[in-house]
Amino acid sequence: MNRLYYGDCLTILQEMPLKSVDLIYLDPPFNSDRSYNAIYKDETGRPLPDQIEAFNDMWTLDEERERAIRHMPILVREAGIDDDVAQFWKIWMNALRSTQPSLLAYLSYMVERLIWMKGLLKPTGSIYLHCDPTASHYIKIMMDGIFQHGNFKRECIWSNEDSSGFKSRASNWIRGHDVILYYASNAKKTFFEKEYFPLVESTVNRYDKMDSEGRRYKIYKNPDGTERKSYLNQERGRAVSSVWTDVPSFQTVNNTGEYMNYNTQKPVALLERIIKASCPPYGTVLDPFCGCATTIEAAHNLGRKWIGIDIAIHAIKRVAKIRLEQRLNLTDGIDFEIEGVPRDPEGAQDLWNRDKYHFQKWAVEEIDGFVTSRKSGDGGIDGRLYYDLQGYGDLQSMVLEVKGGRNVGINTVRDLRGVLERDTALMAGLIVLHDPGERKRRNFASEMAQAGDLEAYGLHFPRMQMLTVEEIFDGRRFKIPGQARGKNSKAQQNLIDFASSP
């Protein structure tokens, strides 16, 4: 069945059957802080505070990256990468360590994922990696090693120039293209459906003769001097080259109803071109960084099977899922499955057992919070829930602590109260996987009550609150002040609900 996975693609790629995919298209993080910050901002409409986990955090040589780099020789050997290439990488990576450590971190992140992707491709499979000139030449060196230089097919240029004139004051050439690197598993791989544009007028005009049946033709001279008729109605058109100028980006055109407001969203037409060319009918397409599911929509339109993966829950649950249901009329559980997102407390327990960090991330994101960067060391806090509070200046946050273990005691609540006093936050929320039971609940409540209430918009909000995972599944959320935007707005409605709750 077609599947959407929530999680780091590395983990999911490692569990997929080898040689099972016809086409991989990936549009991974590759650019700047700005891009990834913008993902959050545009998805949620909320600004991005410093502490949250932004993807650029990955491009530092932290402990996780160092571990991956240490493990690389084994991975490289297991993937059958040529020894000379491996030697070259070693020297090159050592040089990068002192000159461009963040690039080294990024490349090591990409290499470990690309190696797993290679194992998933069928012998007739293809991979297209979408990036921009900031990293394309570095990635190409790595891809040449992993997929072999002989299997490199094309560097496609997607011209996504912004014709709105918005950037015309830039003091440089306006950045106008992305790079898409195309490799086949095997150099002899066939190309499926070639696309053609209509012939230009000057070419059509060269068919200036007409036969007795009214068909237009021109005459070629063969090397032996004989002549051959070439008919206009047999011309397929002008074959699409590796430079694609006919697919506008959403910066230029976003009024087609296709734009999901996902900052890095690519047009379906771009993906349809790639899929038609490189995935056989009824074949399987994998997008390990699927964002708002553009590849999936294109694969669905063309009758291919698909698998999409994204690490951001809002991409999977709030954008991709909605796109599949509303634009493609697909039904979750019947036409496709979502994996990795707990659907009930047992699923949440299972996630906790498998991956504690992922569980905390899920719990924070499930209630619309932002996960704290592992690197920022934000006072042991697992996340923050942001809200606007008139009269208090900037955006305010509720600090979040997530506990998955069974023995959550009063000290956890006291510690969280300590955090609240040290932090600039006005509120703190505790999420627990297991209901602590009646007696503990009473103790927790009296400790939390000592933190007092926050008064806003004429209402009182407890500064410390607790939610169990079960309550989250029942639709309960922390009560935080929202910016009232109108009588019928959701924020206003929340306030009304809260005001009327006991």
Work out whether 13 is an interface residue with ligand SAM (CB under 6 A).
Answer: no
Cα(245)–Cα(163) distance, integer angstroms: 12
Closer of 7 and 482 to ligand SAM (Cβ): 7
Work out whether 48 is an interface residue with ligand SAM (CB under 6 A).
Answer: no
The piece of 288-296, 356-364, 428-436, 465-473 that touches ligand SAM (CB under 6 A) is 288-296
Q: Of the candidates 283, 291, 340, 383, which one interacts with ligand SAM according to CB under 6 A? A: 291
The piece of 26-34, 143-151, 234-242, 425-433 that touches ligand SAM (CB under 6 A) is 26-34
Q: Of the candidates 110, 115, 277, 292, which one interacts with ligand SAM according to CB under 6 A? A: 292
Work out whether 8 is an interface residue with ligand SAM (CB under 6 A).
Answer: yes
What are the b/e assignments for 444-476, b being 16+ CB within 10 Å?
Answer: beebbeebeebebbeeebbbbbbbbbeebeeee
Work out whether 311 is an interface residue with ligand SAM (CB under 6 A).
Answer: yes
Closer of 55 and 362 to ligand SAM (Cβ): 55
- List the one residue out of 264, 347, 302, 299 whose CA is nearest residue 6: 347
Work out whether 37 is an interface residue with ligand SAM (CB under 6 A).
Answer: no
Q: Position 366: which residue type?
A: E
The piece of 261-269, 336-344, 444-452, 473-481 that touches ligand SAM (CB under 6 A) is 261-269
In 3-state terms the chain splits into helix, strand, coil percentages (rounded to 5) of 40, 20, 40
Total residues interacting with ligand SAM, rule: CB under 6 A: 21
Work out whether 179 is an interface residue with ligand SAM (CB under 6 A).
Answer: no
Work out whether 55 is an interface residue with ligand SAM (CB under 6 A).
Answer: yes
The piece of 22-30, 115-123, 447-455, 490-498 that touches ligand SAM (CB under 6 A) is 22-30
* Bridge partners, residue 400, by sequence: 383, 429
In the complex, minimum distance from the CB of residue 47 to ligand SAM, in angstroms, rounded to a whole number: 18
Work out whether 262 is an interface residue with ligand SAM (CB under 6 A).
Answer: yes
Question: Rg of the Cα trace of the chain?
Answer: 27
In the complex, minimum distance from the CB of residue 130 to ligand SAM, in angstroms, rounded to a whole number: 7
Q: Are 500 and 492 in contact (CB under 8 A)?
A: no
Q: Are 402 and 369 in contact (CB under 8 A)?
A: no
For residue 443, give Cα distances in angstroms to 325, 401, 408, 448.
44, 18, 12, 9
The DSSP H or E segment spanning 497 is: helix 490-500
Q: Of the candidates 148, 160, 264, 412, which one interacts with ligand SAM according to CB under 6 A? A: 264
For residue 392, give Cα distances in angstroms to 46, 48, 424, 454, 496.
17, 18, 11, 11, 21
Where does 215-355 show beta strands of DSSP type E? 216-221, 227-231, 238-239, 243-244, 284-287, 305-310, 336-339
Q: Are 40 and 144 in contact (CB under 8 A)?
A: no
Residue facing ligand SAM at closest CB distance: 291
Q: Are 376 and 51 in contact (CB under 8 A)?
A: yes
Q: Of the candidates 128, 183, 250, 289, which one interacts with ligand SAM according to CB under 6 A? A: 289
Q: What is the number of helices (H) and of strands (E) in the chain?
A: 17, 21
Work out whether 9 is an interface residue with ligand SAM (CB under 6 A).
Answer: yes
In the complex, minimum distance from the CB of residue 42 to ligand SAM, in angstroms, rounded to a whole number: 11
The piece of 74-82, 162-170, 203-211, 257-265 that touches ligand SAM (CB under 6 A) is 257-265
Closer of 304 and 479 to ligand SAM (Cβ): 304
Closer of 175 and 216 to ligand SAM (Cβ): 175
Work out whether 478 is an interface residue with ligand SAM (CB under 6 A).
Answer: no
Closer of 266 and 361 to ligand SAM (Cβ): 266
In the complex, minimum distance from the CB of residue 224 to ligand SAM, in angstroms, rounded to a whole number: 52
Q: What is the largest CA-CA distance in the chain?
A: 101
Secondary structure of residue 5 in the 3-state scheme: strand
Q: Position 116: which residue type?
A: W
Work out whether 162 is an interface residue with ligand SAM (CB under 6 A).
Answer: no
Q: Position 246: which residue type?
A: D
Residues of this chain that bind ligand SAM (CB under 6 A): 8-9, 27-29, 39, 55, 262, 264-266, 288-289, 291-292, 294, 309-312, 315
